[in-house]
């Protein structure tokens, strides 16, 4: 029996033109309801589960997402491997708008989020090894799929996770750069850690949609971000379809 693969996506990934929605399931968990219905999708030659991280109307801001319910729902659905899609800002020189990266490390700058299943309420405590927050096997599969699709990627990157929903100040981006971060986004944590606690392989494919604050002569506009998303997410979906079909 094959493994069950899921994709969790946010900005730019709530719609799958050309996909067939085979099933939609409303799930409840001990941590509440997930952001959206869990969909079973057939896209190109791949079949997988999909969860809209911010809701299908993109109405839930990053800091208010019920990450525990999302991961618990996917665990309940029998998911073995989870690919997160993230729209991020670029910090390091190579990570300009339009670049697709498969990050390998995380720095967490968030606060106040319900970040663990081991909160003392279920009588269990486990200290997970989080040295390498992303599954190397799943990262390699994504990288190989990009090669097969003839799509250039960066197969590394340190993802700085900020609180949001506002974008960062120029001073904050300078600090993140000093900390060794390559990209910045708002949703990798606690999602990655919760997946590890749940025993789900987890990796991210991230699309750089704008330069970090202060790294460009121009202000960051939603119109510019949307233009990059419209092009980049087509490539991201192609990588996803190839990766999942070969899993």
> Where is the binding site, in residues?
11, 53-54, 186-187
Taking a C-beta distance cutoff of 8 angstroms, is the pair 41, 20 a contact? yes
Taking a C-beta distance cutoff of 8 angstroms, is the pair 103, 134 a contact? yes
Annotated binding site for substrate: 186
CA distance 186 to 126: 25
Phi and psi at residue 54, to the nearest 5°: -100, 10
Annotated binding site for phosphate: 11, 53-54, 187
CA distance 243 to 247: 6
**Cα–Cα–Cα angle for 15, 68, 76, rounded to 5 degrees:** 75
Q: Which whole-number Å values give the CA distances from 94 to 11, 15, 138, 183, in the listed order?
A: 22, 29, 23, 10
């Amino acid at each position: 029996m094959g493994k069950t693969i899921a994709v969790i996506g946010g900005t730019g990934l709530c719609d799958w033109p050309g996909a067939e929605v085979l099933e939609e399931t409303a799930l409840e968990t001990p941590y509440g309801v997930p952001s959206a219905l869990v969909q079973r999708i057939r896209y190109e030659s791949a079949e997988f589960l999909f969860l809209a991280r911010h809701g299908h109307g993109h109405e839930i801001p990053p800091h208010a997402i019920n990450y525990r319910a999302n991961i618990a729902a996917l665990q309940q659905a029998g998911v073995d491997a989870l690919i997160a899609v993230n729209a991020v800002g670029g910090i390091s020189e190579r990570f300009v708008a339009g670049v697709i990266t498969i990050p390998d490390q995380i720095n967490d700058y968030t606060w106040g989020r319900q970040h663990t299943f081991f909160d003392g309420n279920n009588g269990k405590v486990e200290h997970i090894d989080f040295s390498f927050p992303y599954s190397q096997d799943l990262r390699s599969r994504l990288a190989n799929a990009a090669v097969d699709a003839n799509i250039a990627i960066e197969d590394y990157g340190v993802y700085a996770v900020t609180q949001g929903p506002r974008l960062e100040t120029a001073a904050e981006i300078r600090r993140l750069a000093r900390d060794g971060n390559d990209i910045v986004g708002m949703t990798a944590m606690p999602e990655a850690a919760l997946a590890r606690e749940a025993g789900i392989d987890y990796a991210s494919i991230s699309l750089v949609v704008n330069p970090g604050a202060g790294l460009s002569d121009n202000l960051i506009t939603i119109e510019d971000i949307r233009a990059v998303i419209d092009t980049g997410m087509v490539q991201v979906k192609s990588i996803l379809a190839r990766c999942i079909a070969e899993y």
